[in-house]
Amino acid sequence: MAKTEVILIQNIVGLGGESDLVKVAAGYARNYLIPQGLAVPLTAANKRRIEALKQRRAEREAHEFNTMTELSKSISKLIAVLQVKTGDDGKMFGTITAGMIADQLKTQFDIALDKRKIHLEHPIKLLGEHDVELRLHPDVTATLKLRVESTTPAPVPGEAATGAPGAEGKEGAARTESRGHKRTERGRDEKGGAEGTEKPGRPERKPRAPRPEVAEKPAKGEKAAKAE
């Protein structure tokens, strides 16, 4: 494949910065770099532009360094909160990726950061707080506090393994309580009838006057003795 040399007039990640002289495929230079204004062919006239490009590059890099330094100070004071789904055992489904962290920074703090600047030494698989390294610039790094929380409600202590009591259990408890209440009320009514207000009964009868005593009649033998 034919190669050609070009002078970069724009910073291209993975290829070089302004004023760099690079060798690339001829078709890549002819069809993309030169038409897009990212590079110019290596000629005597274009070589004179190198000093001006170097000056522009130094200014750009200084600006990037200052910007990333300020961003690093700001990020060190932030706590990004990322919510994930978990199972009943509290374990996460999957892992936290650099792309997820970049999206959260944009959503929560309106910070646009290339996910390639987010360096994860180990996959994040646990809830809680984690320190995430951000490589903002070749000379600037930052540490982001990341808190991973679960969106799955925690089980209520004391519940049965199958979950909360169903509607039938609640209705049964309500019926039992209602029956007990009725028994209590019936007992109170019976007690009130025995000790409380007496029910109207028959009027009391007046006592009868005692009968006059009647003299006992003499026996037949006694009559015969009196006659003699």
Every domain of the chain and the residues it spans: 3-48, 73-150
| Backbone torsion region of residue 70, taken as left when φ is above 0, otherwise alpha when ψ lies between -120 and 50, otherwise beta | alpha
pLDDT of 215 higher than 80: no
Q: How high is the pLDDT of residue 153? A: 72
**How far is residue 163 CA from its own chain's centroid?**
19
**98 contacts: CB under 8 Å, gap ≥ 6:** 115, 116, 118, 119, 120
In angstroms, the Cα distances linking 220 to 213, 217, 225 are 21, 9, 9
The model's pTM: 0.57
Arch. (CATH architecture) of 73-150: Roll (3.10)
Q: How far apart are CA 98 and CA 123, in angstroms?
A: 9
Q: For 91-104, write each residue's pLDDT tens digit.
A: 888 899 999 999 99
3-48 CATH, one of 3.40.5.10, 3.30.70.360, 3.20.20.140, 3.40.50.150: 3.40.5.10
